[in-house]
Amino acid sequence: MASSNSKHPVALTIAGSDPGGGAGLQADLKTFAALGVYGYSVITEVIAQNSWKVADVEPVAPELVEAQLDVLALEFSPRALKTGALANAAIVKAVARTIERLKMPAPVVDPVIVSSAGARLIGPKGERAIRKRLIPLAAIVTPNIAEAEGLADIQIDSDAAIRKAAEKIMKLGAHAVVIKGGHREDDKSATDFFYDGRTFVELKGPRIAGGGAHGTGCAFSAAIAAYLARGASLEDSVRGAKRFVTMALKQSFKLGKGRALLDHFARG
């Protein structure tokens, strides 16, 4: 006999693929599973990549992205969702339009615009669409430092600058923002800044040696969505995601010559 869905909360990831499983929707699904959440997934772009190289990218037609969302909604609406790599402006608009039309939960928006290494991951038109169409729908936006600088149009070189950037991103319409500080060279710990429009919360964590790992941003945003699906508050979801990524990073490993991979099923 089928069990009640109350025991199996559902979260949805709308993102690109990573055949190596370290990032993208594959990593999101592992994160959901590790946190006891059933995962739906909608693919936005097929990416030929591994932990250190992107060889080719093929966006999915916006109409097919919408069709994936529509057919999932026919069965069951997720309790929470996140967006990751969205490829181009047409897909961003299709995702935003469909979230509104289907009355889906406010998304966790991982604004995949600039990688932590500084590589641009979506064009200027796509970035504008994220600003104008997706961020105003967001329950929370989770930029890295480079993305926060772009969205806020300021240079981040201090805690005060991070707070100013968070305030400017909130003015784009999001309900909350968490700026990830893991790549700040001037921060001896790894401090993320959460802002809900009322108060700032500094989420400190140990800086783990080894140069980071592939897919930390994907896992972080997916973990927030998983905790939201389980009924946690937004701040508690961010705190839980911070703990999850820290544990996964502590037990990271390598499969080849590339970057380290998170252990999404790590246990303390």
Per-residue pLDDT for the chain (268 aa), expressed as one digit of tens each?
344 455 789 999 999 999 999 999 999 999 999 999 999 999 999 999 888 888 889 999 999 999 999 999 999 999 999 999 999 999 999 999 999 999 999 999 999 987 655 567 788 999 999 999 999 999 999 999 989 999 999 999 889 999 999 999 999 999 999 999 765 555 566 789 999 999 999 998 777 766 778 889 999 999 999 999 999 999 999 999 999 999 999 998 899 888 889 989 988 6
- Is residue 102 in some structural domain? yes
- Is residue 162 in some structural domain? yes
pTM over 0.85: yes
- Is residue 2 in some structural domain? no
Instruction: Please count the residues of the chain.
Output: 268
Residue 3: the pLDDT is 47
d(CA 143, CA 53): 21
- Is residue 254 in some structural domain? no
DSSP H or E stretch at residue 59? strand 54-59
**What's the one-letter identity of residue 229?**
A
- Is residue 54 in some structural domain? yes
Task: Find the domain containing 191 and state its range.
Answer: 8-248
**What's the one-letter identity of residue 133?**
R
Cα atoms in the 13 Å half-sphere on the side-chain side of 165: 30
- Is residue 265 in some structural domain? no
- Is residue 218 in some structural domain? yes
Residue 210: the pLDDT is 65
CB atoms within 10 A of CB 205: 16
CATH number, domain of 36, equals 3.40.1190.20
For the chain, the domain total comes to 1
CB atoms within 10 A of CB 124: 10
d(CA 172, CA 205): 28
- Among residues 158, 153, 201, 159, the alpha carbon closest in space to that of 176 is found at 201
- Is residue 266 in some structural domain? no
CA Rg value for the chain: 17
Residue 116: the pLDDT is 59
- Check residue 231 and report its DSSP letter: T
Give how far Cα 250 sits from Cα of 117, 191, 213, 268, Å: 21, 16, 10, 10
Decide: helix, strand or coil at residue 86.
coil
**Tokens 């966790």 label which residue?**
108
183 contact partners, CB below 8 Å, separation of at least 6: 116, 144, 145, 146, 212
**What's the one-letter identity of residue 213?**
A
Burial of 73 (0-12, 13-18, 19+ CB in 10 A): middle
Give how far Cα 71 sits from Cα of 64, 74, 77, Å: 10, 5, 10
Residue 54: the pLDDT is 86
d(CA 105, CA 232): 14
